[in-house]
Amino acid sequence: MAPLFHLLLPALLALAAVSSRRGWRWSPSAASGVIAALAAAAAGAALWSSAQGASVVFSHPWVAPLGVDFALRLDPFRSLFLGLVWGTTVPVILYSGLAFRDDPRLAGLLATLLLFAACMIGLILADDLVLFFLFWEGTSVLSFLLIGWNHAGAEARRKASQALLVTGLGGLALLAGLVLLRFATGAGSLGAAFGTDLSAHPLSTAIIVLIAAGAFAKSAQVPFHFWLPNAMAGPTPVSAFLHSATMVKAGVFLLALAAPALGAHPLWTPLLVTCGMLTVAAAVRRAWNETDLKAVLAATTLAALGHLTILAGIGTPAALKAFVVFLLAHALYKAPMFLSSGALEKAYGSRDLRRLRGAVFCLPIVGTAMVVSMASLLGLFPLPGFVGKEYFLKAAWAQSPALAIAAALSLAAVIALALRGLAPLLARGDLNLPAKSPGTALQLLPWISAAAALALTASFPWLSQSVLTPAAAAVGGTTGASVELWPGWGPSLVLSLAALLIGGVVAFHAARPAARPPASVGDTTYQTLLDALGRGSRQLASALQDRPLATHLGLVLGAAGLLIAPPLLAGPLPLPDLRVDAADTVPAVLARLTALSAAGAATARSRVALLVSLGLTGLLIALLYAYFSAPDLALTQLLTETILLVLMVAVLRWLPKPHGTPRRGSPLAAAGALSAGAVVTMLVIKAKALEFTPPVSQFFAERSLPDAHGANIVNVILVDFRALDTFGEITVLAVAAIGAAALLRKRRRPAVFDPTRSTLLSTALRLLLPPLFLFAAFLLLRGHNHPGGGFIAALVAATAAAFIHLSGRPAPSSRLDSALLVTGLSLAALSGLFAVAAGRPFLTGLWIKPDLPGDGPPLHLGTPLLFDLGVFLTVLGFALAFLRRLLPTTPSPVPSWN
């Protein structure tokens, strides 16, 4: 339960912070005090559990299908980290409460910081690989929000985005590495995965590269180091909390955990040691001429992370022991330094070191904390910094003397940087007095944290035995010896003294030009990449998107052709039957005429020619349908073609002529069209040759008369066997009619001629109407057994309606259309529901057979006939809607919905 408690506590504290309001008793500042106190207690609890030495695991299945558990582990190593996180939380929260007392966003800041702490603690405690990744990404996202806290400034936004993208990239690499790790070890938990020796596994190189990439991005190692100095754009508590003590440590935390499993791999040590060294060098180079206090501190943090990476890279139990000590020492001296810098910034209104001359003396409380911490950074005995460096050099020496010398030089570089950078604070003459006092509390804060550090140092034996040694054992395995304050005489001591000497000499004798800090190579590379990405993507998008319609159509057709052609051409092409029997002359002629008329439609220049060829093509196809035994089909084709052409003529009369000469088709289009035609021809030929199973439609011929009471099988299919298709079809028509009503809302143009002026015409039209309607009814009723049916009948009735329209009689309101549509569709649906009421599936036909006198053929009345009626009404409504809107007519009142 202990791990769960540590995970939930910061979340609860975040809630507490959010609930505070300025001006209440429970103000954010007050809340910060309480929260800090609780955090201190939690820190103590963490250290205490470290002293217990036991390893606690809490596990609960989470996403079982993917093998992910909610598993937490608390061992001495993690307890140490936990203690560091909580321990840093205390001063950070207190500082925020004090420094941002009057800021309206304080509650939000506290809550975000605490949520971050929850993620960080989750990361430390997570035992399941996926859970670990979850918290890893959580820290990245929260870090983004915190760096960009003052997001009004463009630079802050840019730097926050940079941090998120770089750590995000690393995160993705890490995810891949973790998945591979799971795959390689078959284990889902960190403990199990890192418990086996993986150095010989074939995937281990990939795993190392990916995990290292993730860790390097998070801990700002080369080549991902450039985001950390930029992250200082955030407020001071953020920099102190995230970017020096907690989030950046996550990477090296992971590396330390991974070292036992992967350390023996030949890539591990060179990769980590090299990158670590390069990071130290880059940090020192970057900050050598810095005048911003925070930047100098950031550089020393970066260097310390480099050193920790080197130690993880060495990977021996001794190195991991040094890791633990170095880690603790860094945390103990860094926190007071950041807090001091915050207090100084408040006092002087600036972080520029040139303005902070002699600050140590002007503000002695703060100054003491700063000096003590600096001494620890420099590695002076008997401070923890000294112990850390000693063990570092010892571990390096055990690996190889050359490495130890390189390590010592890197330490010297950091010492030089620190002395050079922070020297103005200790300047004696020409003191700068602070503009205002930062307040007692704010000054005491660094002093208290430095004092706490000293207290821990004073109790070093206890610290070593209860915390450091168990932690080192938990991560690296026991080495037997415990951590001592005085490591004894030896090469490490020599090297450390040498480092101190070299560093001091370099610091005091290096010239101090007024040069600006050099630009970061990483940052400029990042920016260049980003700009290239922007430019390249815009060019790509524009090239693909901003094209005329014909290009996109051609692209789709071409790509489809590429998909279809290979399988089509690959197989044997059956030789087509080239003979034309005498019996086949009719269809042959029809087919040839169709092809010619299609060619005419393709090449027609004028609209009239186009419409004529389209009409002709449609007619020929109808004749083909008729010839090949499809009477219903031929009728439908004929009627729809006619009405479509009429509508087209109506629309095109008023369509403005295109400007200039009609465009000639491009040869490319012609070539494409011809090849497409050839492909289709081949498709059809091939399809004809390959029938091999009896079609399902035999069933229809057998059952149409006995069970569905219809002799016109096609109609029976449409209203009974496959009624749902027809249902969808009339819905399509209804939607088209709705579309007509929705889009064409203006009144129509004046009539071509006024038919009411010609009584002969109106009389003739009026006389035609009743027969036409009767004919339509006749077609509807006989459709089930003879060619006819709802659709054809409706089109005939629509023709009649068109005559009404053209005859100049005032048209019925457009409400009639929607009434017809609604009634038709409802009737169709209802006809299917009768069956449901009788306990049968939807759209089942229910028939009654009234006993008729005499012995004529039996009459069957059933729900499919109702369905056909529904089809009739819908199609009629559709046709009316279109005729009304597209045909020219005399003006008539506009319906209210428009």
Partner 1 sequence: MELIIAIAIGALTAAGIYRLLAGSRLDLLAGILLLSQAANLIVFASGGLLHGAAPLLHDATGPLADPLPQALVLTAIVIGFGILAFLLILLQRDSDNRP
Partner 2 sequence: MTASAAIIVCLLAPLAAALASLAAGPRRRVAAALTTGAAALSTLAALVLVAASHRGLIPVVHLGGWPAPHGIALAADGLSALMLAVANLVTLAVVVYSWRGLSGFYHRRRFYPLLGTLLLGVNGAFLTTDLFNLYVWFEVLLLSSFVLMSSNPSGEARAGAWRYVLLNLLSSLFFLCAAGLLYGKTGTLNLAHLAALFRQSGDSFLLLSSSALLFAAFAIKAALVPFAFWLPASYPHAPIPVAALFAGLLTKVGVYAFFRCFGLVFAEPAGFAHREVLLPLALATMTIGVLGAVAQSDMRRILSFHIISQVGYMLLALALFTPLAVAAGIFYIVHHIIVKTNLFLVAGLVERHQGSSDLARARGLLRSFPAAAALFAVAALSLAGIPPLSGFWAKFSLLKASLDAGAYLSATVILGVGLLTLFSMLKIWTHVFWRSPSDSPAASRPVSLLAPCAALAALTIALGLGAAPLFQLAQNASRSLLDPRAYIESVLSSAPPAPGQTLTLQP
Select from partner 1, partner 2, none the partner in contact with residue 762, using the beta carbon and a kind-dependent cut-off of 5 to 8 Å: none
Question: Which residue bears the tokens 């804060």?
Answer: 445
Verify binding: residue 859, partner 2, rule CB under 8 A: no
User: CA torsion 367→372→374→379, rounded to 10°?
Assistant: 170
Q: Which stretch binds partner 2 (CB under 8 A): 60-68, 232-240, 789-797, 800-808?
A: 60-68
* Contacted by 842, from partner 1, partner 2, none: CB < 5 to 8 Å by type: partner 2
Q: Taking CB under 8 A as the rule, does residue 897 contact partner 2?
A: yes
Are 88 and 246 in contact by the 8 Å Cβ rule? The answer is yes
Alpha helix ranges (H) inside 722-789: 723-743, 759-782
Beta-sheet pairing, 68-74 with 861-862: unpaired
**Residues 6 or more apart whose Cβ sits within 8 Å of residue 72:** 3, 4, 7, 57, 58, 59, 125, 126, 127
For partner 2, which stretch binds (CB under 8 A), given 222-230, 293-301, 345-353, 531-539?
531-539
Site for partner 2 in 150-169 (CB under 8 A): 151-152, 157, 160-161, 164-165, 168-169
Report if residue 549 touches partner 2, rule: CB under 8 A.
Answer: yes
617 binds, among partner 2, partner 1, none (CB under 5 to 8 A by kind): partner 1
List Cβ neighbours of 459 (8 Å cut-off, separation of 6 or more): none
Distance, CA of 628 to CA of 631 (rounded, Å):
9
Q: Which DSSP letter does residue 756 get?
A: G
In the complex, minimum distance from the CB of residue 109 to partner 2, in angstroms, rounded to a whole number: 14
Binds 533: which of partner 2, partner 1, none (CB < 5-8 Å by kind):
partner 2
Nearer to partner 1, 528 or 603 (CB): 603
Q: Within 10 Å of residue 357's Cβ, how many Cβ atoms?
A: 21
Instruction: Compute φ and ψ for 572, nearest 5 degrees.
Output: -70, 135
Question: Taking CB under 8 A as the rule, does residue 700 contact partner 2?
Answer: yes
Task: Select the binding partner of residue 460 from partner 2, partner 1, none (C-beta < 5 to 8 A, by kind).
Answer: none
**Two structure tokens written together for 228:** 């950390």
Q: What separation, in Å, do the N-terminal and C-terminal C-alpha atoms of the chain show?
A: 68
If binding is defined by CB under 8 A, does position 749 make contact with partner 2? no
CB atoms within 10 A of CB 223: 16
In the list partner 1, partner 2, none, the entry touching 584 (Cβ below 5 to 8 angstroms by class) is: partner 1
Question: Which amino acid does the sequence have at 878?
Answer: F
Contact 824, 877 (CB under 8 A): yes
What's the CA gap between 290 and 385, in Å, rounded?
Answer: 24
Q: How far apart (Å, rounded) are the C-alpha atoms in residues 276 and 253? A: 14
Per-residue x/- mask for partner 2, residues 707 to 736, rule CB under 8 A?
xxx----------xxxxxx--xx-xx-xxx
Please name every residue paired with 63 in a beta bridge, in sequence order, or none if there are none: 68
Which of partner 1, partner 2, none sits in contact with 711, Cβ below 5 to 8 A by type?
partner 1
What is the nearest approach in angstroms of partner 1 to the Cβ of residue 747? 10
* Contacted by 855, from partner 2, partner 1, none: CB < 5 to 8 Å by type: none
> What minimum distance in Å lies between the beta carbon of 64 and partner 2?
5
Does 523 contact partner 2 by CB under 8 A?
no
Site string for partner 2, 827-856 (x = CB under 8 A): --x--x--xx-x-xxxxxxxxxxxx-----
Phi, psi of 103 (to 5 degrees): -80, 130
- Tokens 């299919």 correspond to 717
In the complex, least distance from residue 552 CB atom to partner 2, rounded to whole angstroms: 5
Residues in 860-879 that interact with partner 2 by CB under 8 A = 860, 862
Q: What angle do CA 461, 465, 468 make, to 5 degrees?
A: 105
CB of 254 to partner 2, least distance (A): 16
Give 812: exposed, middle or buried? Use CB within 10 Å, 0-12, 13-18, 19+: middle
User: Token pair for residue 606?
Assistant: 């004028």
Q: Which of 66, 511, 575, 837 binds partner 2 (CB under 8 A)?
A: 66
Query: Which tokens is 111 given?
Result: 């809550």
**Which phi and psi angles does 73 have, rounded to 5°?**
-135, 140
* Nearest approach, Cβ of residue 745 and partner 2 (Å): 8
**555 versus 609: smaller Cβ distance to partner 2:** 555
Asked if 696 is part of the footprint of partner 2 (rule: CB under 8 A), the reply reads: yes
Of 216 and 791, CB closest to partner 1: 791
Distance of alpha carbon 773 from alpha carbon 780, whole angstroms = 11
Q: Are 241 and 202 in contact (CB under 8 A)?
A: no
Interaction of residue 655 with partner 2, rule CB under 8 A? no
Is the Cβ–Cβ distance between 452 and 86 less than 8 Å?
A: no
Contact stretch for partner 2 (CB under 8 A) within 284-292, 508-516, 759-767, 823-831: 823-831
138 binds partner 2 (CB under 8 A): yes
Residue 437 binding partner per list partner 1, partner 2, none, with a CB distance cut-off of 5 to 8 Å that depends on partner kind: none
Which x/- pattern, by CB under 8 A, does the window 174-203 give for partner 2?
-xx--xx-xx--------------------
Sequence-separated (6 or more) residues with CB below 8 Å from residue 316: 263, 395, 398, 399, 476
Judged by CB, which is closer to partner 1: 503, or 864? 864
DSSP code of 889? -
Residue 133 beta carbon to partner 2: minimum distance, rounded to whole angstroms: 7
d(CA 178, CA 791): 63
Query: Which partner, partner 2, partner 1, none, binds residue 655 by CB below 5 to 8 Å per kind?
Result: partner 1
Residue 605 touches which member of partner 1, partner 2, none, C-beta under 5-8 Å by kind: none
Cβ nearer to partner 1, comparing 194 with 882: 882
Residue 601 makes contact with partner 2 by CB under 8 A? no
DSSP secondary structure letters along 592-604: HHHHHHHHHHHH-
- Closer to partner 2 by Cβ: residue 207 or 442: 207
The reply on whether position 571 binds partner 2 by CB under 8 A is yes
382 prior amide bond cis, ω within 30: yes
Among 646, 592, 578, CA closest to 624:
592
Closest approach of partner 1 to the CB of residue 153, in Å: 46
CB closer to partner 1 out of 469 and 613: 613
Give the range of 86-94, 515-523, 558-566, 585-593 binding partner 2 by CB under 8 A.
Answer: 558-566
Contact between 64 and partner 2 (CB under 8 A)?
yes
Q: Which is nearer to partner 2, 519 or 696 (CB)?
A: 696
**Nearer to partner 1 (CB atom), residue 435 or residue 711:** 711
Please provide the DSSP assignment of 301-312 as one string. Answer: HHHHHHHHHHHH
Among 35, 22, 24, 12, which residue's Cα sits nearest to residue 95?
A: 35
104, amino acid identity: P
Alpha helix (H) residue ranges in 468-606: 469-476, 491-509, 521-545, 549-570, 585-603
Which does residue 4 bind out of partner 2, partner 1, none, counting CB within 5 to 8 angstroms by kind?
none
For residue 141 the two structure tokens come to 């996202």
Cβ–Cβ under 8 Å, residues 311 and 324: no
Report how far residue 95's alpha carbon sits from residue 98's, in angstroms, rounded to the nearest whole number: 5
829 is in the binding site of which of partner 1, partner 2, none (Cβ under 5 to 8 A by kind)?
A: partner 2
Nearer to partner 2, 20 or 340 (CB): 20
Report the partner that residue 882 touches, choosing among partner 2, partner 1, none (CB closer than 5 to 8 A by kind): partner 1
Residues 71-130 touching partner 2, rule: CB under 8 A, are 130
Q: Shortest Cβ distance from residue 426 to partner 2 (Å)? A: 40
Select from 332, 479, 494 the least CA-distant residue to 405.
494
Q: CB of 565: closest distance to partner 1 in angstroms?
A: 14
Pick 175 or 267: Cβ nearer partner 2: 175
The first and second tokens of residue 285, run together, are 């180079």
Choose among partner 2, partner 1, none what residue 681 binds, the Cβ cut-off being 5 to 8 Å by kind: partner 1
